[in-house]
């Protein structure tokens, strides 16, 4: 593996990790808490990564598991306020103090983003956020998701159409479900 300090790697990857969380986390979950859990998992389990090439898919799997865990917690009717983050996570993942104004803005933006994509299936949300918000190339997305580039293209095209259809109040464009020849 490349000898790059883990915190440097985290800084490079954390924004798309946030996008994956946004795409898969339950509506009531706290993005910051989940990011801290991913950071903790990264520190604890990095040794499991065998090569640099596998790192991003591995980090995505870890992120997905944490988002799914949040779903499970919600399903087991644990109230979010009662859910306390693993104390060790507090030690590992420092949260730089956010200025109140800044935090409010970011949380509002999170709510707006979730509102915009809530009607989309998670796989479409994820691909759309990775491309549009994080600016990752289709090639890089294909590597992270472990999909052929053609599938990434068709899924992204479909996600765009669904987003437009969902947010459009004037336009009435029929939204077909899965099964188009491009999606694999």
**What does the binding site for other proteins look like in residue numbers (CB under 8 A)?**
1-7, 9-11, 14-19, 22, 31-32, 35-36, 39, 42-43, 46-47, 49, 52, 91-98, 105-110, 112-113, 116-117, 128-129, 132-134, 138, 149-150, 153-154, 156-158, 160-161, 163-164, 167-168, 170-171, 173, 180, 182
In whole angstroms, the minimum distance from the beta carbon of 14 to other proteins comes to 4
Give the closest residue to 64 by CA, choosing from 106, 130, 19: 19
In whole angstroms, the minimum distance from the beta carbon of 184 to other proteins comes to 14
Q: Which is nearer to other proteins, 22 or 144 (CB)?
A: 22
The count of other CB atoms within 10 Å of the CB of residue 33 is 20
In whole angstroms, the minimum distance from the beta carbon of 73 to other proteins comes to 19
Q: Which is nearer to other proteins, 48 or 75 (CB)?
A: 48
Crossing angle of helices 52-75 and 138-145, in 10° steps, is 70
Cα-Cα-Cα-Cα torsion 94, 100, 102, 107, nearest 10 degrees, comes to: 80
- What HEC string does 99-152 produce? CHHHHHHHHHHHHHHHHHHCCCCHHHHHHHHHHHHCCCCHHHHHHHHCCCHHHH
Q: Which is nearer to other proteins, 75 or 139 (CB)?
A: 139
The count of other CB atoms within 10 Å of the CB of residue 16 is 23
Q: Which is nearer to other proteins, 86 or 149 (CB)?
A: 149
Q: Which is nearer to other proteins, 21 or 76 (CB)?
A: 21
In whole angstroms, the minimum distance from the beta carbon of 72 to other proteins comes to 22
Give the closest residue to 80 by CA, choosing from 125, 18, 25: 25
In whole angstroms, the minimum distance from the beta carbon of 76 to other proteins comes to 25
């Amino acid at each position: 593996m490349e000898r790059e300090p883990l915190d440097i790697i985290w800084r490079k990857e954390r924004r798309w990790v946030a996008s994956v969380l946004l795409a898969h986390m339950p509506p009531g979950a706290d993005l910051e808490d989940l990011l801290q859990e991913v950071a903790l998992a990264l520190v604890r389990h990095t040794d499991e990564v065998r090569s640099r090439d596998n790192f991003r898919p591995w980090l995505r799997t870890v992120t997905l598991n944490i988002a799914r865990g949040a779903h499970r917690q919600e399903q087991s009717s644990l109230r979010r306020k009662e859910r306390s983050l693993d104390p060790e996570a507090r030690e590992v993942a420092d949260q730089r103090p956010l200025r109140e104004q800044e935090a409010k803005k970011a949380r509002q933006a999170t709510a707006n983003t979730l509102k915009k994509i809530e009607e989309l299936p998670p796989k479409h949300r994820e691909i759309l956020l990775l491309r549009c918000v994080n600016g990752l190339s289709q090639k890089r997305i294909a590597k992270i998701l472990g999909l052929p580039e053609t599938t990434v293209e068709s899924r992204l095209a479909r996600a765009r159409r669904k987003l437009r259809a969902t947010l459009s109040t004037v336009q009435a464009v029929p939204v077909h479900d899965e099964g188009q020849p491009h999606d694999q």
